[in-house]
Amino acid sequence: MSDTLLTASGLTKRFGGLAAVNNVSLELWRDRIHAVIGPNGAGKSTLANLLSGDLPPTSGEVCLGGVDITGWSPERISRQGLGRSYQKTNIFPPFTVWDNVRLAAQSRQPQQPWNPWTWWQSASKSIAINDRATRAIELSGLQDRRNAIAGAISHGEQRQLEIAMTLATAPQVLLLDEPLAGMGVAEAQRMVELLLKLKPHHAMLLVEHDMDAVFALADHLTVMVNGQAIASGTPAAIRSNAEVQAAYLGEEHA
């Protein structure tokens, strides 16, 4: 078993009477991709939001690299080593691709908004930041689009940019919320290759609808329905699980 980088136990998020995520526990390991699948409204994105701090959990605990991060703000969790991409493309559209990634890389420098020296330096001349941004851009295959305006590149490229920005923050744990959403076949294939390239050095949570990609990538699967994790195990075990078949294919196939 590889090292466990993130552990969530008994995570619950209630919106009024609705439990969007109900008592879900999961673990993420380095060099393994843990995919979360389930029908629309199952609570997958809410689960990602609980892990990244975008939403505080109603109850339950999240540990990142042995540190209890439950209830932390997203910026603090990010700096603790968790990077995430969003289901809806979440970038800086008026900036160039390079500036998007450079800004992400800048987040790893000491943040001193009150230090007049940081009002006076030139942001584009930091070698450490530029190196990190260049690596992230090359890894995600966007080096030819560096100077394009992010809002004007294709949807697939914007998804790549999401990943590049996340990588520029040098995370240990990656939460990828539907990285393949809306991609063409060739683009999706490239993204799958990228994720496999990233796998050895990261613990990855993949929320995805594209089942071909999920079964091509995932080492471990958790199936969510109505906020609950109804099954968790290897892809082969999940495929043959009767409850999962019922949820996905309808009761009569079970």
Partner 1 sequence: MEVLPRSVRLLLVLALAALAVFPFVGSDFYVQMVTRMMILAIFAMSLDLLQGVSGLVSLGHAAYFGLAGYALAFLMPQNEAASVWLTLPLSVLAAGLAALVIGFFVVRTHGIYFIMVTMAFAQMVFFLFFDNKVLGGSDGLYVNFRPTVNLGTWALLDLDNKKTLYLVTLGAMLLVYGFLRRLLWSPFGRALAGIRVNEHRMRALGFATFGYKLAAFTLAGALAGLAGYLWGVQTGYINPELMGFHMSAHAIMMVILGGMGNFAGAIVGAFGFELVLHLFKDLPQVGSVQLGKHWQLWMGSFIVLVVVFAPRGLLGLAGWFSRRPEDGDV
Query: What's the closest the beta carbon of residue 54 comes to partner 1, in angstroms?
Result: 7
Applying CB under 8 A, does 98 fall inside the site for partner 1? no
Applying CB under 8 A, does 71 fall inside the site for partner 1? no
Which of residues 123 and 237 has its CB atom nearest to partner 1 in the complex?
123
Single out the residue of 7, 14, 25, 54 in contact with partner 1 (rule: CB under 8 A).
Answer: 54
Applying CB under 8 A, does 240 fall inside the site for partner 1? no
Q: Are 37 and 210 in contact (CB under 8 A)?
A: no
Query: What's the closest the beta carbon of residue 120 comes to partner 1, in angstroms?
Result: 6
| Start-to-end C-alpha separation, the chain | 33
Applying CB under 8 A, does 135 fall inside the site for partner 1? no
Q: Which residue stretch of 21-29, 60-68, 77-85, 138-146 sits at the interface with partner 1 (rule: CB under 8 A)?
A: 77-85
From the list 32, 24, 68, 65, the residue with the least C-alpha distance to 48 is 24
Applying CB under 8 A, does 109 fall inside the site for partner 1? yes
Q: Are 161 and 187 in contact (CB under 8 A)?
A: no
Give the residue ranges of DSSP H helices in the chain. Answer: 44-52, 74-79, 97-106, 117-120, 127-139, 155-168, 185-198, 211-217, 235-239, 242-249
Distance CA 26, CA 117 (A): 43
Q: Which residue stretch of 71-79, 198-206, 228-236, 238-246 sits at the interface with partner 1 (rule: CB under 8 A)?
A: 71-79
- Count Cα neighbours of 207 within 13 Å in the Cβ-side half-sphere: 23
Applying CB under 8 A, does 41 fall inside the site for partner 1? no
Q: Which residue stretch of 94-102, 189-197, 203-211, 243-251 sits at the interface with partner 1 (rule: CB under 8 A)?
A: 94-102
Applying CB under 8 A, does 210 fall inside the site for partner 1? no
Distance CA 47, CA 54 (A): 10
Single out the residue of 10, 66, 71, 94 in contact with partner 1 (rule: CB under 8 A).
Answer: 94
Distance CA 164, CA 173 (A): 14
Q: Interface residues with partner 1 (CB under 8 A)?
A: 52, 54, 73-76, 78-79, 84, 86, 90-95, 99, 102-104, 106-109, 111, 113-114, 118-124, 126, 165, 169
